[in-house]
Structure 1
Amino acid sequence: MKMKEIYSAIFIVAINIFSFGQESIASASTASAAAEGNLYRATDDGQIYIGLRNGTVSALSPVFAATLFSGNGTPSSPYSLGQMGATNGQVLSWNSTTNTWAPSTDAATNNWFLAGNANAAASSLLGTTNDVRLQLRSNNTEMLELGTRQTLGLTESSKPSPYNSTTASTMYMRGTSGNSALQFQADNATIYKPVFFTDSNGNFRMRGSAASSDFFELGSNGSSENGRFDFLVGDDGDEPYLFYKYNYTSQTYIEMLRLQGTGLNNTVRVGINMAGSVPNSTLQISGSFSLPIVTTTASLTLTELNFTVILGGNHNISLPSASLCNGRMYIIKNPTTNTPSISAYNNISGGSTSTIAANSVIWLQSINNQWEQIN
C-alpha cells in the first residue's frame, strides 16, 4: 500500500470514527474478501479494521493507541481524544510554533461570569489595563464611568481644581437626559430614602432620612443666575438644626447653635448655648454678646456696621434712609456741649428734630420711612 493511501485511510478514520460508517465482519482472522480502504468492525472484539488490497484487514488500534487518541474501539473503551498532558478545564488550541494541537487554559475560565465567579483571587481584576474608560451600562444607557479626568473628557483647564486636573482618578455618574442620582439602601427610612441627585437647572442636592420618617435636605437651588444654597429639615416643623463642638478630653459634644421651629407654623427660633433647650424667643443667647461701638473723629455717615456712636467733637451724623433698613437701631451719645446736626428724626414727643442735644443720649430705630427716638 502506498503512503498516500495510508494517510488517506487515517484521515477517513479521523472523520468517521465516532459515526462508525463501516461494515461488520465476524472476525479479523477470517476476513478474506475485504474491499481495499473500507472500514470493518469485527463482532468478536469490537475493534475497527481497514480493508487491504489482498482482501484481508488490518487493525487501526495502533493508530488510536497513540497519544492523540485513547480507547480500543470496544463498547467499554470507545475511541476518544487522549489526555495529551491536559489538566482539568483545559482545551486544545493550535500551537503555531510547533504546528501541533496542545492543551491550554481556556480563556473563558479567567472571565467574569454573569452568574458570578468562584475562582476570584486577591489579584483578580475587573477593569482596563490601558488608558481607556471603564463603562457600566443598563438598558444600553451609560450609568457609570471610571478613569482619569482627561480619559473621561472632563478636564477644564480654565477652571480651578479639581476641574483642571488631567490625572485625578474620577468616578463619573451618568444618567438619563443629563441628570443622575446615587441612592443608598436604608431599610428603616420609611419615607425618604437617602440620595444624591442633580436636576435640570444644574443643581446638586442631597436628601436623606432622619429618625425613620423625618428628612433633611441640603444643596444648591435656583435657576438663571439666581443661585442659592438650601438647608432643610422636616417634616413636623419642630426638627432642629444643631451645631456642636467636640471636646476630646471629656469626649462630649457641646451644643453651640440651635435653629428650630415650633411646629407647623411660620415661627422659627435661634438659640446660642442652649444646652439642648428650645429658645424661648426668636433669638435667645445664654451668655454675653457684643455690639460695635465707635468714637467719632469727624462727621460720620452711619451704615450697617455701626451701632453705638460716641461723639468725639462737634461732628455731624448722617443716617441712612429709614426705608432701606426697617427696624435698625442706633445709639448716639453726645458728651459734649455742642449741638451737632443729624438727619431728621421724630423725638420722644413726636416732633421732627435735626440736632443732637448737648450732654444727651438718643436711641433711634427705623420704621417705614422714618427714624424714631425710642428712649
Structure 2
Amino acid sequence: MHATDSVRTARERSATLEHQIATTPQKFRVLTGERPTGALHLGHLIGTLDNRVRLQAQGVEIFLVVADYQVITDRDVADNLPATVQQVLLDYLAAGIDPEATTVFTHSAVPALNQLLLPFLSLVSVAELERNPTVKAETAAAERRGRRGMSGLMFTYPVHQAADILFCHGNLVPVGQDQLPHLEVTRAVARRFNNRYAAQDPYFPEPDALIVPTPTVLGNDGEKMSKSAGNALEIRAIEDETAAFVRRAKTDSERHITYEPERRPEIANLLTIGAHFAGTTPQALADDVGSAGAGRLKQVATEALVEGLRPVRARRAEAAARGPEYLAGILARGNARANEVADRTLDDVRGLMGMRY
C-alpha cells in the first residue's frame, strides 16, 4: 500500500475509533508516555497532554509510562532522574491527569514489562529494526555528531515500545500520522506472537493508531520547541516568563495576519498557540487580527496563553505544595498496578511458549 493510502486508511479508521470511544470508551486501553529528560513544555501540553486528558475524561483507561530506561538510549548517563521524574509528574497533574483514573508508572519499576523484550526480539529481524524511522534518524544523527555507535538499547527501541504497549494489552495508541511506522512494529510483534504461540485463541491485540492533531509548536527562535534547544516555554513558567516568551517570538515583515503554515510558519505558530487557549481556530483568530499586525497578534496570544495556563499552573502549584511524599505515593500506586498487569501478562506468555516450569 502506498504511504498516502496508508495514512488515508488510518485517518478513516481513526474517525471510526473516535465514534466508538464516544459510545463505548470501556473497550479501549491506551498506552502512551515520554522520556523524562526534563520538565515538560508548551509543545507537550498542546501536542499530547491535552489529548490524554480528553480521553481520560471520556472514560478511556490510560497507562502513562515515564520511560526512564529510554533516557539512556542516546546518552551516557541520566542526570538526576528522580528530580526530573518528579517534575514530569507535576506537569502531568498540572495538565489534568488524574492518578486515580490513569495509571502512571516508570519503566524501571516494572521488571516483567522489560522481560517481555526477550521473546519479542525473536519475532523481528535486524533489517526491520534498521528500517524503523527512529533508528534510522539516530544512526544519521550519530554519524553527524561523530559519536560512538548507536547503543543496543536504541537499536531495539521499537521492540521495547512494543513491550510497553502489549504488556497491558493496549489496543489504542494516540499518534501523529508521521508516527504510524512506529506502531507497525508493535502490530507485527502481536500478530507474529499470536500466529506462533496462540493461533487458535489470539492473545495480544493488534493495537490501532488513533491519529490525533499534533501541531508542531515552535520555540521563540522559530525552530521546533525543544528542551535541549533552550527555546521552550515550560509549563511551570510564571506569567512574566510567558509574556516574555511571546514577546521574543519570531514573526515576519508582512502587516496583514494570515494563517499560512507553510509560507508563514512563525505567524501560524502564534495563531495556533493563541487559538488553542482561546477556544477558537487559527484561521478565525487570523481573521480577527487581520491588518492589526504582529503586535496585536502577540498581545492576543499572550492574553490567551496567560489565561489558559492559569488553572494549569494552579494545579501544579497545589500538587507541588503537597510535597515529594505525595508524588512518590502516586508513582508507588501506579507502579503496583502496572506490575500486577505485567506479571500476569508475562506468566501467560511463559505458559503459551511452554516455559512455565
Q: TM-score range by the shorter chain?
A: under 0.3
Normalising to structure 1: TM-score of the pair? Answer: 0.18
Tell which structure's C-alpha radius of gyration is larger.
1
**Larger relative contact order (Cα-Cα within 8 Å, sequence gap ≥ 6):** 2
Give 1 or 2: higher strand fraction.
1
Give 1 or 2: higher helix fraction.
2
Normalising to structure 2: TM-score of the pair? Answer: 0.19
